[in-house]
Structure 1
Amino acid sequence: MLTPFAELSGVLDQLGLTPVDWLLIEGGVIAAYLVFAIAGFGTALVAGPLLIHFMPLSRIIPLLVMLDFLAAFSHLLPSRQSIVRAELLRLVPCMAIGCTLGVVFLLNLKSDLLLLLMGLFLIGYSIYSLAIKVRPTQLSAGWSIPMGTVGGLFGALFGSGGFLYAIYLNSRLTDKSQARATQNALISCSTIVRLSLFAVTGVYAQLPLLVMAVCLLPAMLVGSWIGRRLMKRLSRETFVRLVTWLVLISGITLVGRYVTG
């Protein structure tokens, strides 16, 4: 009869990761949640291009969703009084529809096609963020439908639809603390929807995926801790712009990897 330690060791062996692989993965997750603590989104934008060298995107997104769930609620609790519930109620139903579509695509598309799509997504997001200097000053409430739906789709498929929520909320709410708190609440709702969908479809029946999430939990906590302290010393805009350049390079790398086979 195997001991719990032996069973755990066997599960870790199934992952096929070397100590160097683990070091790179843990470092990528720390960087991802450092960015999340400052920007409020972007874990998959940062960690995805690194993790995709070790596992398919169809495992990366469910893995990060588990960690996002904990990270989002830790950011939500201190600011929950600033949430604008009217905007939240507009976005959540559309986001849920988008998440459902994204999960269907994620679990059914071929891994090489997902690699290409993620690379194109990263490039498109980066070019938009770097090129567009003037954001919409005021969007109508009707924009909650496309922004919520596409944000949910991108969130489930690529792990990052938060930038669309940020664009919508920042154009609707003049109080930045309200916009940030509502965005945190929306991302929390998004993680619940995606967790539920992945659980229903049997993704979390894979024990190695759950064990890996537990192993990466300390890295998530460290990254969040560092990010919260950097946020007090560094301009959010400057930091996000730097990260966007890195995301652009990652996107180009992924597309190049797809083209070269």
Structure 2
Amino acid sequence: MFEFIEPLPFFLAAIVIFGAYFIFGVSGFGSSIVAVPLLVQIYPLKSVVPMMVMIDICGSLYLGKKNSSNADMKELKWLFPFTLIGIVVGGLVLLQAPSAPLLIILGVFAVINGVRVLWQRNRELHKAINRWWAAPFGFFGGIFTALFATGGAIYASYLGLRIADPRALRSTMAFAIFILTFLRLCLMVATGLLLSWPVFGLAICLMPATFLGIWAGSHMHARLSNSAMRVAYGSILLFSGTTLLMRQLI
């Protein structure tokens, strides 16, 4: 059950998990897109994705329920029907496709989002985009959720262009991650990817780093400006995506 827990890889994974859930505690999203590109350099992709599902379940139960009262449910009702379609498509791809091209896609995705976040770090929402943009954002968010557990960045992109209030945006994202994690859990159980005792044991051992990161991030939330948080988040995305691409292409 604990065969994945070798001292050095586990220590590095714990640092990654703490940093990822610190971001999650501050912003309400971002744990998977920060953690997965780094964790796949330590463990196999098909172990990392279900492991992140189990860890996200615990983190999202805490932060998602806590913030659900301020979430904009109307926006989520538009997103999730398209998300379900994307999750089914992504789950089929995950079962059939080789890991190497998927990791390259993940690296490119992380780099693009890192550059986007840094470019827009000081930009505020002036006019909301049309609600029908929920279709492509929801569909591709579902695909990336199933493949890499990283759809949160896509939903953040859409909701950030629909919701101007930072507090409502954080609450909506936190609750969206809570629902997405439950959908990912159903997918992992249905495909059998979650039924791995070594992965389950590793997830349990990483829970202290998870909750410590959420606790620290939640306390830091009120002290950081949106611009400072975007710089930190974008820099981590850019770094993790670049290192992943270098490993796969060189």
Using structure 2 for the length normalisation, give the TM-score: 0.91
In 2: Cα distance, 1:216 partner to 1:138 partner: 39
In 2: Cα distance, 1:51 partner to 1:62 partner: 12
Q: 2:13 aligns with which of 11, 16, 25?
A: 25
1:111–1:174 CA distance, 2 compared to 1 (3 A): closer
CA offsets, 1:103-122, max 9 Å, x none? 22222221222221111111
The alignment yields a C-alpha RMSD, in angstroms, of 1.8
In 2: Cα distance, 1:164 partner to 1:259 partner: 25
1:136–1:194 CA distance, 2 compared to 1 (3 A): farther
Using structure 1 for the length normalisation, give the TM-score: 0.88
Q: 1:243 aligns with which of 233, 236, 239?
A: 233
Q: Does 2:213 correspond to 1:216?
A: no
1:168–1:259 CA distance, 2 compared to 1 (3 A): closer
1:81–1:243 CA distance, 2 compared to 1 (3 A): closer
Q: Does 2:158 correspond to 1:160?
A: no
The amino acid across from 1:181 in the alignment is: S
Unaligned runs of 5+ in 1: 1-10
The amino acid across from 2:7 in the alignment is: P
Percent identity, please.
31
1:239–1:87 CA distance, 2 compared to 1 (3 A): closer
In 2: Cα distance, 1:59 partner to 1:162 partner: 19
In 1: Cα distance, 2:126 partner to 2:32 partner: 25
CA offsets, 1:167-224, max 9 Å, x none? 3223333443333222222211111111001101111211111111111111111110
Other-structure match for 2:194: 204
Contact 1:72 1:188 in 2 (8 A): yes
In 1: Cα distance, 2:102 partner to 2:183 partner: 21
Within 5 Å, give how 1:93-112 maps onto structure 2. 93-112=81-100
Contact 1:92 1:189 in 2 (8 A): no
Q: Does 2:131 correspond to 1:138?
A: no
In 1: Cα distance, 2:117 partner to 2:96 partner: 30
Choose between structure 1 and 2 for higher RCO, CA contacts under 8 A separated by at least 6 residues.
Answer: 2
Q: Which has the larger radius of gyration?
A: 1
